[in-house]
């Protein structure tokens, strides 16, 4: 019986982003793990799947959470790590505006202190409001924050583009943040 793809994706996120040691997996400094080692260690931990199952998750994931090495022998999470890794991404000039989705209960703190990576290595930003809205929905009643990314960049802040299109930066000070006036009704009309 094939594994549940949602559960397998969550498991892969857990071990490739947060707790490789939970199954005795070793990540290199850039977050890569040997696929063979991942399969062997997962099987020993009672999580059974094969290379084809793994490739299906990588190829069909709507969020493109995982990347394969050029030689197809290694896998890593595209971003979102709480374990220390250096993804090896080069700084890039971001678009003028990027977006961050969050829940209303966090807005006051964010506007006071800025965006911080929290348990992750870097702050995650979206290139479009629709993605930010979906992210915000996962945390409660969504709010979308506009980030003056290009202005930040001109002030020396670095931005990186992950393999899956997520923009990363170390922090976003409050002076670069603005709440959008977007609400559920206007969002629904924009995404039709």
Domain that holds residue 110: 98-190
Could you tell me the CATH number of the domain that includes residue 33? 1.10.10.970
Shared-domain flag, residues 73 and 104: no
CA 96, 102, 104, 109 torsion: positive or negative?
A: negative
Tokens 């971001």 label which residue? 94
Q: Are residues 109 and 182 in the same domain?
A: yes
Q: What is the pLDDT of residue 186?
A: 46
Cβ neighbours for 92, distance < 8 A, ≥ 6 positions apart: 159, 160, 161
pLDDT band for position 191 (50/70/90)? Answer: very low
Are residues 112 and 166 part of one domain? Answer: yes
Closest by alpha carbon to 20, among 64, 104, 82? 82
* Burial class of residue 137 (count of CB atoms within 10 Å of its CB; 0-12, 13-18, 19+): middle
pLDDT digits (tens, 9 = 90+) for 129-140: 999 999 899 888
User: Looking at the structure, do residues 13 and 68 belong to the same domain, yes or no?
Assistant: yes
pTM of the model: 0.76
- The string of pLDDT tens digits covering residues 55-86 is 999 988 777 889 999 999 999 998 888 888 88
Q: Are residues 45 and 107 in the same domain?
A: no
Whether residues 131 and 178 share a domain: the answer is: yes
Please give the tally of structural domains in the chain. 2
Percent of the chain whose predicted confidence (pLDDT) is above 70: 93
């Amino acid at each position: 019986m094939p594994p549940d793809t949602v559960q397998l994706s969550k498991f892969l996120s857990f071990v490739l982003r947060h707790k490789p040691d939970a199954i005795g997996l070793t990540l290199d400094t850039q977050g890569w793990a040997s696929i063979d080692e991942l399969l062997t260690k997962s099987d020993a931990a009672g999580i059974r799947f094969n290379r084809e199952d793994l490739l299906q998750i990588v190829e069909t994931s709507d969020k493109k959470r995982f990347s394969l090495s050029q030689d197809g022998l290694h896998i890593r999470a595209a971003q979102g790590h709480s374990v220390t890794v250096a993804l090896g991404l080069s700084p890039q000039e971001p678009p003028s505006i990027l977006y961050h989705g969050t829940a209303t209960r966090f807005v006051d703190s964010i506007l006071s202190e800025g965006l911080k990576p929290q348990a992750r290595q870097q702050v995650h930003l979206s290139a479009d409001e629709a993605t930010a809205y979906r992210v915000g929905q996962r945390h409660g009643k969504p709010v979308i924050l506009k980030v003056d990314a290009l202005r930040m960049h001109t002030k020396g802040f670095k931005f990186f583009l992950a393999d899956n299109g997520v923009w990363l930066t170390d922090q976003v000070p409050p002076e670069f943040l603005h709440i959008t006036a977007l609400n559920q009704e206007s969002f629904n009309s924009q995404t039709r």
